[in-house]
Amino acid sequence: QGVVTTLYVSAISLFFSSIIGITAAIAKLSSNGFAYGIASFYTSFFRGMPLLMQVYLIYLGLPQLGIVLDAIPSGILALSLCIGAYMTEIFRAGIASIDRGQWEASRSMGFGFGLTMRKIILPQALPVIIPPMGNMFIGLLKDSSLVSVLGVWELTFLGRTLGQATFQPLEMLITVAIIYWILSICLELIQSRIERYFARSKVR
């Protein structure tokens, strides 16, 4: 159950942080000063604050505004906002690596912004985006342990609880650490396969 909860929280957080990241990246690359300002403030704020503080602020602070979330949604929201700020810079760097001539050629062919981004820019930017994004997901998997402070039954919480119940806290924590390590290795293998796939596609 702990592994499933950890993977669930991590996967959902990665999905939402990716959406946040690409949206904020486009805003930072746009000529709209207001959008750029909002995106820049967002990335600066959430990258500059400890993740644990964000978890507490969302879980304990939102109810003061009349917004009550359970522990898991609060943890996912905190992780998504924090990791989304880092994803913003990953997507921004990937999109910015594509030559401006690609945009101009797309406009000359009558392509709109959305179609250009989906069909031309992102496919070329993915080889640049995938490696740091994979590393970010591995980091997210480990950062998900912080939601244990909210009582979420993920790996760290279960390890600590079982350790206290069996009077073997060190053994349980070592077991949890090994499980995290194995999960990280699996993700690294998946990441390397994806990177090789995009490398072959780029050669073709």
Residue 204 has a pLDDT of 55
Q: Is pLDDT at 18 greater than 70 in this prediction? A: yes
Which pLDDT does position 127 carry in this prediction? Answer: 86
Structural domain including 23 reads 2-203
Report how far residue 86's alpha carbon sits from residue 183's, in angstroms, rounded to the nearest whole number. 22
Residue 112 has a pLDDT of: 81
The pLDDT value given to residue 202: 61
CA distance 85 to 46: 6
Per-residue pLDDT of 21-61, as tens digits, reads 999 999 998 888 999 999 999 999 999 999 989 999 999 99
17 closest CA partner among 50, 48, 47, 53: 47
If 0-12 CB within 10 Å is exposed, 13-18 middle and 19+ buried, where does residue 59 land?
Answer: buried
User: What CATH number does the domain containing 176 carry?
Assistant: 1.10.3720.10
- 125-182 per-position pLDDT tens digit: 888 899 999 999 999 998 888 887 787 777 788 888 888 888 888 988 899 899 999 9
pTM score, whole prediction: 0.85
Number of compact structural domains in the chain = 1
